[in-house]
Structures are given as C-alpha cells and as structure tokens.
Amino acid sequence: VLRLEEVHKSYPLEQEEFWALKGVSFDLHEGEMVSLMGPSGSGKTTLMNIIGLLDRPTEGRYQLRGQDVSRLSESARAAVRNRMVGFVFQAFHLLPRLSVLENVEVPLTYAGVPGRERRSRAAERLEKVGLGDKLGHRPTQLSGGQQQRVAVARALALNPALLLADEPTGNLDTRTGAEILDLFEELNNEGVTVMIVTHESAVSERTRRIIRLRDGVLDSHAREVA
Amino acid sequence: VLRLEEVHKSYPLEQEEFWALKGVSFDLHEGEMVSLMGPSGSGKTTLMNIIGLLDRPTEGRYQLRGQDVSRLSESARAAVRNRMVGFVFQAFHLLPRLSVLENVEVPLTYAGVPGRERRSRAAERLEKVGLGDKLGHRPTQLSGGQQQRVAVARALALNPALLLADEPTGNLDTRTGAEILDLFEELNNEGVTVMIVTHESAVSERTRRIIRLRDGVLDSHAREVA
Ligand SMILES: Nc1ncnc2c1ncn2[C@@H]1O[C@H](COP(=O)(O)OP(=O)(O)OP(=O)(O)O)[C@@H](O)[C@H]1O
Ligand SMILES: Nc1ncnc2c1ncn2[C@@H]1O[C@H](COP(=O)(O)OP(=O)(O)OP(=O)(O)O)[C@@H](O)[C@H]1O
Ligand SMILES: [Mg+2]
Ligand SMILES: [Mg+2]
C-alpha cells in the first residue's frame, strides 16, 4: 500500500541542517500490522509524519497506493490524508476548548457527516476506548492516559484505511494498553493497515513485523518477520 | 518524610463533584524509592500533585517532614515546593519560547543562583540525560522522548530532597529509559526520596516498594515490599 524510496528529511537549524532521516526505503503491504521501533531521537515520528502526509520528504520518493505523493502541495496532501489516514499523535494534540466528544467529531465534520450520525459515531468510538462516561469533559479534565485514548478514538473516527499510531500506549497501564491493541487488531482484521511506533515489547510482540530505526536509517539486520 | 492521612480529592464538574481520591493513607520514609502504579484514571497524577504541593487535598491531612502542609496557601506551598521538590510532569510542561537550556535554568533562576553557575549546572543536568548537543534547541525542535528528558533534567536542577516523576519513561525506548532509572537510583543512593508513577514493570522492578491505586483508593493487598 505504500513504498518509501531513499527518503531523507532535514530540519533547518540556525547554522546548519539536521538530517533526521538519511535514506529510508521500505514497503508496507495492504493489511499489514507493523511496529516501528528505535531509540529516542532516531527519527520515528519524523518518518510517521511523512507517511501520514503531515510532512514531505526533503529527498527521495513516497508512493501511496501507487500515487507519488512526495511533492504534493499542502492542500493536496490534506485531501488524501483526510480520506485515508488516522493518526494518533505522540503529543495527542487535542483541542482544549472542545469537549472530548467534539474533539472526536472534528474529522467527521470535515468529511461532511451530518450532525446526529457524527455524534453517535464519535460516542461509539469513545465507548470503545472506555471513555463513554467522559463525553462532556474538556481534555484538561482528563488523566494523561484518558487524553491518549481520546486521541485514539479521534484517529478511528473516519474508518481510515491506514492507521498510524505514535506511542499509543505510552501513558496507559498494561491492561488498558492491551485493550487498545485489541482494538487495533480488530481493525487490522477488517483490512486496515496499521503501523505503531512503540518501545514496549508487549506491543511489538503483537505485530507481525518490526521495523527498526537508528540515527535516521533502517537497522535492516534487526528486522524481524515473526 | 511524608505522611498522608485519609486524603480525599474532588474536582468540581457541572452537575456534581468527581472524587478522584477517596481516602488515601500511607507513609513515605526519607530515602525510599517507590513506584506508584494503577489503571489509567485511577488517581495517580492527582495524588502526585498533592504530594508535590501543586494541589491541596479536599479532605484529609498531609504532613511533609513533620509540617502539616494540607491547608497552606498557594504561595506558602510554592515556597516549600521550590525548596524541596523536583517534579517530572506527565505532560512535560516545557516553556516553548525558551531554549532547552533556559528551560532547565528556570528553577535555578527562581532560587537566585547566579548566571554562570546556573548555566553550567543546567548544562550538566542536560548532559546527564544525553541532551548535551541540544542545548540551544526549542522544545518543539525535539522528539517526544527528548522533551521528556528535558523535563527530567529540569526536575533535577535544584538537587531536590523529594523527586516525583509521573511516567518519566513513557516516551523512551527501553535503553534510554533504563539510563534515566540509573540516574534516579544514583540520586536515591545520595539520599533523595524518589516516587515514580509508572506502568512499566522494567521500572517498578527497580524500586523497593510498589504502591497501587485503583479508583481513588489504595489496593493495599497488592502492596509489595521487595
Ligand atoms: N480537572 C479535572 N476535572 C475533573 N475530573 C478530573 C480532572 N482531572 C482529573 N480528573 C479525573 O480524575 C481521575 C484521576 O485522574 P488522574 O489524572 O489522577 O489519573 P491517573 O491515574 O494519573 O491516570 P493516567 O494513568 O491515565 O495518567 C480521572 O478519572 C480523571 O478523569
Ligand atoms: N523541528 C525540528 N527541528 C530540528 N530538529 C528536529 C525537529 N524535529 C525533530 N528534530 C530532531 O530530529 C530527530 C528525530 O526526531 P523524531 O521526533 O523523529 O524522533 P523519535 O524517533 O520520534 O524520538 P522519540 O522516540 O523520542 O519520540 C531528533 O534528534 C530531533 O531532535
Ligand atoms: Mg517520537
Ligand atoms: Mg496520570
């Protein structure tokens, strides 16, 4: 479903560029569920942002379902992304002035889903992550792990074809984290392609393939196909 | 070093109060290193905020080194806290417009430490968490785990007597997380009292005692003294 070829990404800094990705190439197949692991600072979020069309490669090519998306404009990328991608951000990025329910409704609103259906779909996602009793709360009235779960619910709102989750269980106890993984597996069984950044073996052991990054390049001999 | 007696905490909600803590009592001894575990939403951050004098109990008593601090004013609490407590927040709370180095300097500035010493102490803390090469960066130019480590460095800036860390390794790969734990152990060996909220056994296995919370009360039969 997606192919990266020699993807590089640099960030401009005051005196020099910092190369966060230095030539990453791999394929992801439709319906796969993979983990992305690697040390802090190795480039995982940077790579996920490119795959999720939140950012563009500095060099190299990215094809999504056969379409070269490497050099699309911001609005063109947004159109593809809103249709196809659900993203659970490492920093959640919830809107503080909206309720939990309204936060999950946002992607549905953009997609033109009518009010009543939007509310019921959002409420159903939130129940799936165990937050059915917090619908009216503001994000600041929730625990860290509850905010993380709202971010998961929002990523699932539009039934994405590609689910990208950046450390989705980092703030969750083992059991709640396992419930989120159950949910991801359920979606994967329905055909959703899933990529999870994680540092927890409890998560990576539940995926079929582990892609490892180190200092902006793939650690290819560490790649395991379970 | 600290004693909680029947501590309760409620948050006001639109129609009713929500009791996040419903009668928590325990002692922490000078120089102990303990884990605080429990399901997402069970009240761990709420409890840590009270212990760290960022918040007050709604009912019950909290004594810190023999002094009843349960009903102190905000400024009195701040005075004790700035002197004694280092806090690693679950959401980091870094100041986005200051550099990494300046962020770690903040507590030193409040304590009146002169400029040159402040900078060198802050730089030394950042080197200890592996970020010596990122001193001039803004927090938004760092990875999630790097931001987490800046929060750790800042908590250590003033050589606190009590170190409270809320999920300090949630965004760190196993090895970097272990390095942060080494640092905490080193401080504990020097006499610092340490309390760590965690959901990872790799962390809790390195502490001598695990305090478990469930729905705002202690799960006392689950208390292990290793
Ligand atoms: N400002 C608030 N207003 C209302 N309810 C709140 C507020 N802050 C927290 N809560 C609720 O209090 C309970 C405990 O929250 P707390 O943040 O202490 O949990 P936690 O154990 O740290 O969870 P996590 O492991 O997910 O971080 C949760 O149910 C949460 O929704
Ligand atoms: N806007 C930016 N400007 C400069 N450097 C950046 C920027 N964003 C990220 N970086 C750097 O790029 C590198 C990779 O960052 P990235 O966030 O992709 O890492 P990561 O693997 O997700 O780490 P973590 O596991 O800690 O979340 C890091 O060294 C980081 O400091
Ligand atoms: Mg990251
Ligand atoms: Mg918490």
Nearest CA to ligand 1 atom 4: A141
Query: Is the distance from CB of A208 to CB of A33 less than 8 angstroms?
Result: yes
pLDDT score for B45: 98
pLDDT above 90 for B123: yes
pLDDT score for B214: 96
Could you read off the pLDDT tens digit of each residue along chain A, which spans 226 residues? 899 999 999 999 888 899 999 999 999 999 999 999 999 999 999 999 999 999 999 999 999 999 999 999 999 999 999 999 999 999 999 999 999 999 999 999 999 999 999 999 999 999 999 999 999 999 999 999 999 999 999 999 999 999 999 999 999 999 999 999 999 999 999 999 999 999 999 999 999 999 999 999 999 655 555 4
Residue to substitute from A44, A180, A198, A199, interface B, most B β-carbons within 10 A:
A199
For B90-106, how does the pLDDT look when each residue is reduced to its tens digit (9 = 90+)?
Answer: 999 999 999 999 999 99
pLDDT above 80 for B223: no
pLDDT band at B226 (very low <50, low <70, confident <90, very high): very low
Angle subtended at Cα B162 by Cα B159 and Cα B163, rounded to the nearest 5 degrees: 80
Q: What is the dihedral of CA A137, A198, B215, A179, to 10 degrees?
A: 90
pLDDT score for A189: 97
Query: Is the distance from CB of B192 to CB of B164 less than 8 angstroms?
Result: no
pLDDT score for B221: 56
pLDDT score for A14: 81
The rounded mean pLDDT for chain B is 95
pLDDT above 80 for B225: no
Query: Is the distance from CB of B27 to CB of B3 less than 8 angstroms?
Result: yes
- Mean pLDDT on B24-53: 97
User: Any chain A CB within 8 A of the CB of B10?
Assistant: no
| Ligand 1 nearest atom to the CA of residue A140, by list position | 1
pLDDT score for A222: 53
Give the number of A-B residue pairs with CB atoms closer than 8 Å: 82
- Mean pLDDT on B58-81: 94
Residue B149 DSSP class: H
What is the tally of helices (H) and strands (E) in chain B?
A: 7, 11
pLDDT score for A167: 97
pLDDT score for A226: 43
Q: Would the CB atoms of B176 and A39 count as touching at under 8 Å?
A: yes
Nearest CA to ligand 1 atom 29: B41
CA distances from B42 to B8, B58, B160, B201 (A): 13, 17, 27, 18
Nearest CA to ligand 1 atom 12: B20
pLDDT score for B116: 95
Cα A47 to middle of ligand 2, angstroms: 10
